[in-house]
Amino acid sequence: MSETLPDDTRGPTPPACLPSTARALDALLARAQSSSRLPSVVAGIVRDGALVWSGARGRVDGAPPQPATQYRIGSITKTFVAAGVLRAVEDDLVGLDDRVDDHLPELGDSIGHLTVGQLLGQASGLQAETDGPWWERTAGGDFPQLATTLTPASQRHRAGVRFHYSNVGYGVLGELLGRLRGSTWHDVVAQQFLGPLGMTRTTLRPDGPHAPGFAVHPWADAVLPEPEHDGGAMAPAGQLWSTVADLGRWAQVVAGRTDVLRRGTVEAMREPQAVDDTRGAAWSAGYGLGLQLWNEDGRRFAGHSGSMPGFVAMLRVDVETSDAVVAMTNSTTGFGDLPRRLLAAFAEAEPAIAPEWVPREVPADVLELVGPWYWGPTPLVVRATAGGLELSGLGGRARGSRFVRADGGWRGLDEYYAGEPLTVVRAGDGSVSHLDLASFRLTRTPYDPEGDVPGGVHPAGWGPAGR
């Protein structure tokens, strides 16, 4: 059986997946290290909260990478900053619709009108990079210095219109997070997430054994050391260092399997705020509240990539199964689609086992609502779920949603009826007459005249046309 994610100090843990699966994953990792000419690369697969496979290839200071070896994770740092801001939302310290200058007044004359949610969702239109030297390769200044460079012209696009990735936006969010808690963004992240999750090897700067960053010459088997520095106000955009085991723990947050964030908060993080449609095709990539999103033939993945000079990293979670892959290398040019191939190979070799079905108690006021309903002539069905109700079409295309209890009735969670009220209307004898869904009437038979259908029901009833 697999074990829970180990502390890096315990040393290697034998793979918990099948030996044949481990062999296949090891082969993929070795092939990528060789073909991409990576100085070193590490990766891991997480299932059910356990690191079921991990692998390493290449050399760090002349020896294979160890479980405690840190790599810079680049923009995966943004997921920690976003989680911290959303914890502040949970605590009513800030709202997603708040203007940023409500909390950072010095931005009022430049970008203060942008909202916290727009910045989190990469939909603010704010400039991608700083106006100064290449911030990823030069030491950064403090936030007042960054703020002085921001002007109305820093907004490259109208807010809320398109996906435009902004590292600068996460510099602003890092300052916001620290100011909301009267601390620094990193101290907040350490207190709220790193400590509770046991992520002892995730740090702001390299601490202990770590991989040095390299650029690999494009036409020769030679490397060039890349610089490492404190990014200052831009550090929230990509400065953290971590290990496979620690990122495996963080993957469980993205999967919604921990208590450091509410389940609803994680679901909001995975809801698209903007999609990348620059190629004009059906969207395959987008951005939630601090998470990158991928849509591959209808299958959703969430996580984040990361890159800084000398490093590339990836955290990717299958939203349906919660299986996850993490991967890191100390090469500027990275490992291509290795993480996707690792996760796909694992899923094919060892498909996730569906949880066992067991009967459960269903409240009487839920049980009386289940079964077929009709929206006009369109057949629908209401099913009981663990969290409430689910409305879907019975064949063909129909609007649907999940519903939870709210204000004495029901409220839509997603799809067309997200946020909309569902009211159970009862007859004089207490039985259910019909459902009022955002002003639509749902009745037990098509256009049931007893269901108070708006506009009425023709007195002749159903029959041939022209009678």
Give the CA-trace dihedral at 253, 173, 182, 203, to 10 degrees. Answer: 50
Distance separating the N- and C-terminal Cα atoms of the chain = 71
**What fold does the segment set 1-269+303-315+322-358 form as a domain?**
Beta-lactamase (3.40.710)
The residues spanned by each domain of the chain are 1-269+303-315+322-358, 364-451
Give the pLDDT of residue 280.
61
Q: What's the DSSP call for residue 341?
A: H
Query: What angle is formed at CA 88 by the lines to CA 87 and CA 94, rounded to 5 degrees?
Result: 140
Residue 217 CA to its chain's centroid (Å)? 34
Q: What 3-state class would DSSP assign to 6?
A: coil
CA distances from residue 330 to 40, 216, 231, 275, 376 in whole angstroms, order as listed: 6, 10, 18, 29, 60
Give the CA-trace dihedral at 119, 125, 130, 135, to 10 degrees. Answer: 60
Chain position carrying tokens 């002749």: 460
Chain position carrying tokens 């801001």: 85
Q: Cα(288)–Cα(272) distance, rounded to whole angstroms?
A: 4
Residues of the chain below pLDDT 50: 1-14
Give the pLDDT of residue 139.
86
> What is the phi/psi pair of residue 286, to 5°?
-155, -170
User: What is the tens place of the pLDDT at every residue in 247-272?
Assistant: 999 999 999 999 999 999 999 999 99
Give the pLDDT of residue 298.
83
pTM of the predicted structure, to 2 decimals = 0.89
40 membership: H or E segment, kind and range: strand 40-47
Segments in 36-110 forming alpha helices (H): 77-90
Residues facing residue 42 across a β-bridge: 56, 328
DSSP secondary structure of 395-455: SS----EEEEEETTEEEE-SGGGTT-EEEEEE-TTSSEEEEEETTEEEESSTT-GGG--TT
Residue ranges of E strands in 120-266:
214-216, 223-225, 241-242
DSSP secondary structure of 403-416: EEEETTEEEE-SGG
Give the pLDDT of residue 395.
77
Cβ neighbour number for residue 89 with a 10 Å cutoff: 21
Q: What 3-state class would DSSP assign to 145?
A: helix
Give the pLDDT of residue 372.
96
Give the pLDDT of residue 450.
86
Radius of gyration of the chain (CA): 26
- What is the CATH number assigned to the segment(s) 364-451? 2.40.128
Report which of 283, 295, 266, 351 is spatially closest to residue 86, judged by C-alpha positions. 266
